[in-house]
Amino acid sequence: LGPAVCRQVFLRAAADADVSIIEGVMGLFDGSSPVNESGSTAELAKLLQAPVLLVIDGSAMARSAAAMVSGYARFDPDLRIAGVLFNKVGGAGHYRLLKEAVEATTDLAVVGYLPTDPSFTIEDRHLGLVTALDQPTQNISHRLASAMAETVDVDRVEALAHSAPRLEAEYARTEPQLSGRAVRVGVAYDPAFCFYYPENLELLEGEGASVIRFSPLHDQMLPDVELLYLGGGYPELHAEALARNHLMRTAVREFARRGGPIYAECGGMMYLMEAIRDFEGKAHDMVGLFPGEAVMQRSSLVMGYRELEVTTPCVLGSPGLRARGHEFHYSCLKNHPSRDYACAITDAQGRRKGQDGLLRGNVLALYTHLHFASQPQLARSLLACARERKIGRKED
């Protein structure tokens, strides 16, 4: 998104908060490059002047934890690592060993620990943690809260948060900026389709959209909407149920046939193919707006930051428009003719990664998950297409 936009997004989200918690991804220094901080949690922490609370797996170690923590603390002098929280600790005696080792070699605050307890585990799968839609986390949250009250100095953690300097940056509370009539946007949201940047929906609403959620899994008809947004998720895990919902698949096809604009990302794109072939090799019929299958492959993870450039007029805008996002999937397209793509993509190093964006009429389906804050014109173009229903090619 760039430094300025990152700060604006954060400040908007934190405007009414007492404390903001920024969840890191992968390791602290892992990003788009092995030789610099680009795209890493460390880069974001420095950008937002946020103190870092290291969460360290304390299992099967004692003094070695001090070597690990010392390395993190000294690796980047411009990054403020303020404290340490140990996870998977054997008990109070084990924690004392870890705490004494770290405090003897660093000046970091050791704020407590979480004991080893299988009941704290949130299961994971091929694209990360099992989502709250599939595995309600209320009970786990209560258990974690009770444990933290016993073994973590929560007041000290809060004090570390309040030690962050005031972040000075310009931002605006977004009020709807109607450039035309309001648009009803149908957003697929259920266990099969649940990956959305919240900022994308907020920006659509900021441009005057009314977001209406529906379920391709459970609903039998579309709501009364003018634009469909089919996000990513786990359609491969729910392919049988999606295939059984003939009425919804027919409704989506009919919406497209009537010229209704559809914007789909990753899992949403898979839903628009003729079929999804799951990890066991079984094919499940899908909407069929695009020829070919989305085929799951356990050993074929595609992951990384992407920059997209529109090359053919589509619901996102005109040729030359650029936006940023990410790819993260185990599927690939097969038996699909390599034509009618609307976009070219590059990775974080500027290397060409080929084409993206299956195009048919007012329907665009991408593997890339775009972040609309990287290009505000995206939301405007989608809503303009819904208002005009003229962007894109005529149906074949």
Burial class (CB in 10 A: 0-12, 13-18, 19+), 340: middle
- By the 8 A CB rule, do 200 and 379 touch? yes
CATH code, 268:
3.40.50.880
Q: Provide the pLDDT for residue 329.
A: 82
**Are 212 and 267 part of one and the same domain?**
yes
13 is a domain residue? yes
Give the relative orientation of helices 198-206 and 377-388 as an angle to the nearest 10 degrees: 60
**Are 139 and 192 part of one and the same domain?**
no
**Are 151 and 192 part of one and the same domain?**
no
Q: Provide the pLDDT for residue 378.
A: 96
What are the average pLDDT values for consecutive 10-residue runs of the chain, which has 396 residues? 85 87 89 85 93 94 95 94 95 96 94 89 63 67 90 94 81 56 94 93 93 97 96 95 98 96 97 95 96 89 89 95 91 81 90 91 95 94 86 39
171 is a domain residue? no
Q: Which residues contact 350 (CB under 8 A, 6 or more apart)?
A: 307
Q: Provide the pLDDT for residue 292.
A: 94
**Are 154 and 191 part of one and the same domain?**
no
Q: For residue 97, what are its two tokens?
A: 């060993």
Please give the helix or strand (H or E) that residue 364 lies within, else none. strand 363-366
Q: Specify the number of domains making up the chain.
A: 2
Domain range holding 59? Answer: 3-162
Q: Would residue 266 show up in a list of annotated catalytic residues for this protein?
A: yes
- Of 162, 195, 216, the residue that ends a domain is 162
123 is a domain residue? yes
Q: Which of 266, 314, 343, 385 is catalytic?
A: 266
Q: Provide the pLDDT for residue 396.
A: 41
**Are 192 and 324 part of one and the same domain?**
yes
**Are 74 and 158 part of one and the same domain?**
yes
**Are 201 and 139 part of one and the same domain?**
no
Cα separation of 88 and 57, whole Å?
Answer: 6
174 is a domain residue? no
**Are 189 and 336 part of one and the same domain?**
yes
- Of 162, 196, 231, the residue that ends a domain is 162
Cα separation of 344 and 354, whole Å?
Answer: 6
H helices of 233-338, where?
239-244, 246-257, 267-272
Single-letter code of the amino acid located at 53: L
3-state secondary structure of 356: strand
Q: Provide the pLDDT for residue 274.
A: 96
240 is a domain residue? yes
Phi and psi at residue 200, in whole multiples of 5°?
-60, -45
Over the range 236-271, which residues count as b (16 or more CB within 10 Å of their CB) and which as e?
bbbbebbeebeebbebbeebbeeebbbbbbbbbbbb
Q: Going by DSSP bridges, is the β-strand pair 283-285/273-277 parallel, antiparallel, or unpaired?
A: antiparallel
Q: Which residues contact 250 (CB under 8 A, 6 or more apart)?
A: none
**Are 192 and 285 part of one and the same domain?**
yes
131 is a domain residue? yes
